[in-house]
């Protein structure tokens, strides 16, 4: 039997195993009987689609640099809710969001860990079971309505949909302090899969700041370096911005050192809306972030900032798709990777500018820093332009620390280690300095120093 045949057999077996799990639990009642019909319809639709889909391989163009064989080697069981004490997440709490925090454990709402005591009127934060009746009838307009190609992992998430974190901001409501959406994964003595789901709706004229945080409660030293039983987080979050709404979104992935993480953000922007995303990836053995943005009106503004910091033998993959479908759209993207040891970083950013998107201004830049000769980066910023009256640019750089810069700093009295740290910190600070939480910026800045220790 050839290696290709072995790989294909594993993929089919793994997909069938997941489908068996899903089919076995799809008849279970949702957490709220009032919404059972809506959720069952979403599940049934996803089941129909997933039968036509397969786990991607390196022969698929979108996955040609990402080897999923380490993920396929495990037989994951569905994760269950595990009660936690508040002290288990103490190190993850942000002072800026202390009373604006919603927590899910293994994809299940944990109200005793959440704190939403300072949420103003006109903003709902909770889960589907708590969703007010005036929102419930409008839910089918948003939940599981993502466009684009059918993604097997996002579809798998929908087949097991039982609950979701919901943030619903009514018209003209503005909340300045960040809302902390914390998804905790708890490893078990067997490999487990958890599938958290998020839904954020910013109605006309509203404005919020959101921190979407994936972590583990196994906090002993550096959480993203902890070696525990492998677990798989398969996450989906949909964000809708109605006319003139604004969302400042930070997404932080800090899975443990033996975790697998595949996450999707689907963003829909109406006319004159403004969306900003800061995507930070530090943890997990293998991670992938699929970010899809759809501009669905004129005058929309989109800003994507990303930072990937990996070492050892980690693999981190970022795929972004930007669809500018209307006139006077603006898009700016800067994605940075810091690669150490034998790690492998991947970036593929697509920008689509059809004929209808005249007077578009789009800029995309991928900058990558290799700290080891054994590290690897595959980067591909990509523009597909049909419109003829636009301003668009893209670029990519891959470099090591400049010895001239290190020498200059040493000539000013700094040690070689301190000089290198200073240059790396400056490289990461362009992204970390834009985060809405000073506490989070400090924590992640320390992570950069720790993860790039040359001593």
| Contact criterion met (CB below 8 Å) for 175 and 123 | yes
> Which helix or strand (DSSP H or E) is residue 43 part of?
helix 36-50
Q: Domain containing 90: what range? A: 10-452
Q: Which residues of 35-50 are buried (b: 16+ CB within 10 A; e: fewer)?
A: beebbeebbeebbebb
In a domain, 196, yes or no: yes
| Contact criterion met (CB below 8 Å) for 410 and 397 | no
| Contact criterion met (CB below 8 Å) for 185 and 79 | yes
Instruction: Kindly tell me if the per-residue pLDDT of 176 is higher than 70.
Output: yes
**pLDDT given for residue 286 in this prediction:** 95
| Contact criterion met (CB below 8 Å) for 206 and 237 | no
**pLDDT given for residue 401 in this prediction:** 82
Q: Which residues contact 372 (CB under 8 A, 6 or more apart)?
A: 339, 340, 341, 342, 343
In a domain, 1, yes or no: no
In a domain, 3, yes or no: no
Please indicate whether residue 171 or residue 76 has the higher confidence score (pLDDT): 171
In a domain, 2, yes or no: no
Give the integer Cα–Cα distance in Å for 255 and 278: 17
In a domain, 316, yes or no: yes
With 0.85 as the threshold, say if the pTM is over it. yes
In a domain, 67, yes or no: yes
Overall domain count for the chain: 1
415-426: pLDDT as tens digits: 878 888 888 888
In a domain, 156, yes or no: yes
| Contact criterion met (CB below 8 Å) for 403 and 423 | no
| Contact criterion met (CB below 8 Å) for 398 and 377 | yes
Closest by CA position to 92, among listed 109, 118, 115, 108: 115
In a domain, 439, yes or no: yes
Q: By mean pLDDT, which of 15-24, 68-77, 437-446 is the weakest?
A: 15-24
Give the integer Cα–Cα distance in Å for 29 and 17: 22
Closest by CA position to 347, among listed 387, 376, 323: 376
Instruction: Kindly tell me if the per-residue pLDDT of 427 is higher than 70.
Output: yes
């Amino acid at each position: 039997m050839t290696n290709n045949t072995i790989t294909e057999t594993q993929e089919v077996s793994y997909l069938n195993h997941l489908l068996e799990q899903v089919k076995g639990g799809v008849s279970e009642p949702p957490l709220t009987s009032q919404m059972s019909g809506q959720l069952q319809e979403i599940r049934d639709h996803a089941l129909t689609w997933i039968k036509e889909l397969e786990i991607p391989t390196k022969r698929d163009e979108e996955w040609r640099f990402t080897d999923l064989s380490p993920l396929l080697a495990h037989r994951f069981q569905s994760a269950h809710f595990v009660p936690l004490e508040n002290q288990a997440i103490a190190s993850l709490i942000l002072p800026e969001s202390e009373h604006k925090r919603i927590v899910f454990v293994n994809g299940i709402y944990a109200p005793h860990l959440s704190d939403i005591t300072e949420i103003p009127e006109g903003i709902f934060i909770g889960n589907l079971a708590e969703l007010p009746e005036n929102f419930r009838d409008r839910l089918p307009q948003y939940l599981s309505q993502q466009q684009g190609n059918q993604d097997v992992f996002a579809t798998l998430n929908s087949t097991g949909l039982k609950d979701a974190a919901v943030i619903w901001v009514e018209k003209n409501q503005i909340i300045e302090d960040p809302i902390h959406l914390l998804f905790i994964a708890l490893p078990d003595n067997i490999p487990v899969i958890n599938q958290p789901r998020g839904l954020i709706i910013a109605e006309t004229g509203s404005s919020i700041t959101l921190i979407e945080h994936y972590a583990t409660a196994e906090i002993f030293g550096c959480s993203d370096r902890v070696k525990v039983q492998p677990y798989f987080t398969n996450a989906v979050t949909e964000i809708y911005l109605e006319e003139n709404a604004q969302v400042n979104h930070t997404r932080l992935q800090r899975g443990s050192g033996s975790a697998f993480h595949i996450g999707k953000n689907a963003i829909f922007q109406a006319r004159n809306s403004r969306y900003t995303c800061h995507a930070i990836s530090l943890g997990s053995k293998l991670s992938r972030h699929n970010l899809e943005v759809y501009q669905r009106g004129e005058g929309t503004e989109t800003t994507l900032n990303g930072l990937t910091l990996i070492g050892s033998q980690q693999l981190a993959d970022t795929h972004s798709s930007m669809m500018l479908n209307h006139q006077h759209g603006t898009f700016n993207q800067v994605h940075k990777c810091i690669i150490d040891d034998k790690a492998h970083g991947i970036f593929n950013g697509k920008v689509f500018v059809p004929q209808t998107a005249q007077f578009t201004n789009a800029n995309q830049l991928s900058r990558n820093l290799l700290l080891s000769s054994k590290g690897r980066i595959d980067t591909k910023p990509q523009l597909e332009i049909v419109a003829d009256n636009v301003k668009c640019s893209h670029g990519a750089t891959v470099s090591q620390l400049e010895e001239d810069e290190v020498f200059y700093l040493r000539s000013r009295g700094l040690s070689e280690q301190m000089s290198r740290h200073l240059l790396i910190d400056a490289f990461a600070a362009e992204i970390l300095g834009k985060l809405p939480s000073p506490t989070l910026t400090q924590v992640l800045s320390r992570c950069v120093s720790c993860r790039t220790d040359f001593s």
